[in-house]
Amino acid sequence: EVQLVESGGGLVQPGGSLRLSCAASEFTFSSYSMNWVRQAPGKGLEWVSHISGSSSTIYYADSVKGRFTISRDNAKNSVYLQMNSLRAEDTAVYYCARYCSSPSCQGGFDYWGQGTLVTVSS
């Protein structure tokens, strides 16, 4: 069964940094794009960042551009989110989610991790 397991969340002061990891298993990791989606407490879902299977295509939400960096290591079946210059409004549960756009795939974020909580507070 496909599994995505996030780690690396925690409490950080405003202006600080944090690196999230998402370990994938039971699928051909390099064949899929990966995304980070966040959810502030009591709020809805917000897409954060996307990386293609080969890392050739990377996108960010305007709210995190210039502060967050997405990367992946296909040899380790992992995707990462380096978060710098963190703000209170970055406080959220961060999910990694698998995405495949080919016609043979389910056209959405078909598997999600359980999420990791990032709290930005002094």
Binding flag, residue 94, another protein (CB under 8 A): no
- Among 21, 46, 77, 82, contact with another protein (rule: CB under 8 A): 46
> Binding another protein by CB under 8 A: which of 25, 40, 107, 121?
107
Nearest one of 89, 90, 106 to 98, comparing CA atoms: 106
Please state the φ and ψ torsions of residue 29, each to the nearest 5 degrees.
Answer: -55, -40
Q: How many residues bind another protein (CB under 8 A)?
A: 23
Shortest CA distance to 3 belongs to which of 27, 19, 37? 27
How does DSSP classify residue 26?
Answer: S
Among 26, 73, 89, 110, binds another protein (CB under 8 A): 110
Does the protein bind another protein through residue 26 (CB under 8 A)?
Answer: no
Q: Does 45 bind another protein (CB under 8 A)?
A: yes
Task: Name which of 41, 33, 22 is nearest 110 in CA terms.
Answer: 33
Answer for which of 20, 95, 118, 120 binds another protein (CB under 8 A) is 95
